[in-house]
Amino acid sequence: MKIDSLVAKILVEKNFDRFTTSDVRSAFLALKNDSNLDPANVRRKVYAELLKLTKKGWLKKLASKKNGLTRFSKTSLFDVKKLLLIIEGGNTSNVTCAKETHLLAKLNYYKAELLLNMGESEAYKELYSEYPDLVDEIQPQFNEARDNNTRILGKIKAIEGLLKQNTTVETL
């Protein structure tokens, strides 16, 4: 999940609960200590970050009917550990993206290799049909190509499983 590390730093504070967007904005501006920041733009950014966490179920949005003030409250799903990782490493999505890109490249390589080996297996079958008297020479090569197909298919399934697992983890 992408979230601003400074917003995460503010939200993980234990005494920071039942807060408004303005509360987070004020803390953000104080920690950032940059006079060039436009408070209205920061408020919009903070609100967008809070909505992300609300959609994930980490925060609950509480609207007051009296004064129209909206407060946010942490839910039981609020994951301090994940936010601390974001704070420590900045946003880890670049690392995750690089790993995913590498895994996808590996996956594509293995798929191409599997196609190549499948073509080799088909060629051995054709040769066997054309030259049945060469079965003793063809059979070991066919068996090796078939074993390679199985190994490569296992690698493909492992990478696809890992990518699927990472997608599930990232959507939390």
**Residue 80 · residue 14 · CB < 8 Å:** no
The H or E element that residue 73 is part of is strand 70-74
| Least confident among 23-27, 78-82, 105-109 | 78-82
Length of the chain: 172
Residue 130 has pLDDT above 80, yes or no: yes
Contacts of 111 (CB under 8 A, 6+ apart): 156
pLDDT at 95: 46
Q: Which of 16-25, 29-38, 89-98, 124-133 has the highest mean pLDDT?
A: 124-133
- Please report which confidence band the pLDDT of residue 108 belongs to, taking 50, 70 and 90 as the band edges: confident
pTM above 0.85, yes or no: no
- Please report which confidence band the pLDDT of residue 169 belongs to, taking 50, 70 and 90 as the band edges: very low
Residue 141 has pLDDT above 90, yes or no: yes
- Domain residue extents for the chain: 5-87, 93-170
Residue 92 has pLDDT above 50, yes or no: no
**Residue 7 · residue 32 · CB < 8 Å:** no
Would you state the structure tokens that stand for residue 150, as one six-digit string? 């199985």
Q: Which fold has domain 5-87?
A: Arc Repressor Mutant, subunit A (1.10.10)
Give CA–CA dist 165/137, Å, rounded: 43
- The CA-to-CA distance between both ends of the chain, in Å, stands at 7
Residue 55 has pLDDT above 70, yes or no: yes
Residue 126 has pLDDT above 80, yes or no: yes
Q: What is the rounded (10 degree) CA torsion for 78, 82, 85, 90?
A: -80
- Please report which confidence band the pLDDT of residue 77 belongs to, taking 50, 70 and 90 as the band edges: confident
- Please report which confidence band the pLDDT of residue 91 belongs to, taking 50, 70 and 90 as the band edges: very low
Residue 137 has pLDDT above 60, yes or no: yes
Give CA–CA dist 93/157, Å, rounded: 24
Place of tokens 């990472």: 166
